[in-house]
Amino acid sequence: MIHRIVVSLQKNKMTNTSKIVTQLPLMEAFYTIQGEGFYTGHAAYFIRLAGCDVGCHWCDVKESWDESLHPKTTVEQMVSEAVKHGKLVVITGGEPLMWDLTHLTAELQRHGIQTNIETSGAYDLSGSWNWICLSPKKNKLPVQSVYDAANELKCIIYNKHDFVFAEQQAEKVNKNAKLYLQVEWGKREEMLPLLIEYVKENPKWIISTQTHKYLDIP
């Protein structure tokens, strides 16, 4: 049984936290195989919310950054599609914690769906979560509440300094979080050999590969 983490909204782009958020900017939703981290290989329905101000230069979904380009979609619509596709939903972005996810996660879980999130941790948690994947970014560091709640720390390796950054992040995350290193896809030929040797020398880390890209699936 996976422990469920329930958190309340403290600070994000919503100004009236007492109002139930029934619409969210949806970039895309799709059923596929999770290709990264702890749940690699599991069938999962992805809900990709629009909006991000973290701005990673190597981001592979920069089209998600501007939420105004993507339609507001009701929670009811999102859940009605999700229930057709298994029992695991991954909410990602963009940066999904820019939005109050309390209502969305409550409705998903009411239908017996496990709720996972992939986040940079730059905003306080909202929603009810079965699994939290924290993927921190240098230009907007996570808030402490996400370090404390994360089930998984996934650091992206783009250059050699990212190994230093990963160790700094591992010191901040809670002791029970699983630790993953994942090479940035465009740098895999250069950095993957270094990553392999690093994990052999530092076995607290686990290698995460973007399996979905090797499989040529979303």
Closest CA to 97 of 63, 123, 78, 59: 123
pLDDT, mean of residues 105-117: 98
Query: Is it the case that residue 201 has pLDDT exceeding 50?
Result: yes
- Would you place residue 55 in the very low, low, confident or very high pLDDT band (cuts 50, 70, 90)? confident
Q: Is residue 127 part of a domain?
A: yes
Q: Is residue 113 part of a domain?
A: yes
What does the pLDDT look like over 186-199, one tens digit per residue? Answer: 999 999 999 999 99
Query: Is it the case that residue 217 has pLDDT exceeding 70?
Result: yes
Q: Give Cβ neighbours of residue 51 (< 8 Å, ≥ 6 apart).
A: 13, 25, 64, 65, 66, 67, 93, 94, 95, 98, 99
Query: pTM of whole model > 0.85?
Result: yes
What does the pLDDT look like over 64-88, one tens digit per residue? Answer: 778 888 999 999 999 999 999 999 9
The pLDDT of residue 123 is: 96
As a whole number of angstroms, the distance between CA 209 and CA 120 comes to 18
In the chain, the amino acid numbered 75 is V
Q: Is residue 121 part of a domain?
A: yes
> Can you give the CATH number for the domain in which 108 is found?
3.20.20.70
Query: Is it the case that residue 10 has pLDDT exceeding 50?
Result: no
Q: Is residue 10 part of a domain?
A: no
Between 182 and 55, the more confident residue is: 182
Q: Is residue 6 part of a domain?
A: no
Q: Is residue 87 part of a domain?
A: yes
As a whole number of angstroms, the distance between CA 18 and CA 8 comes to 11
Average pLDDT of the chain is: 92
SS3 208: coil
The token pair at 48 is 């990709």
* Per-residue CA distances from 162 to 131, 198, 208 (Å): 24, 12, 15
Q: Give Cβ neighbours of residue 103 (< 8 Å, ≥ 6 apart).
A: 20, 21, 22, 75
The token pair at 181 is 């290193």
Q: Is residue 5 part of a domain?
A: no
Q: Is residue 11 part of a domain?
A: no
* The total number of structural domains that make up the chain: 1
Residue whose pair of structure tokens reads 């139930």 in the numeric block = 20
Q: What's the domain range around 142?
A: 17-215
Q: Give Cβ neighbours of residue 152 (< 8 Å, ≥ 6 apart).
A: 37, 38, 131, 132, 133, 134, 177, 178, 180
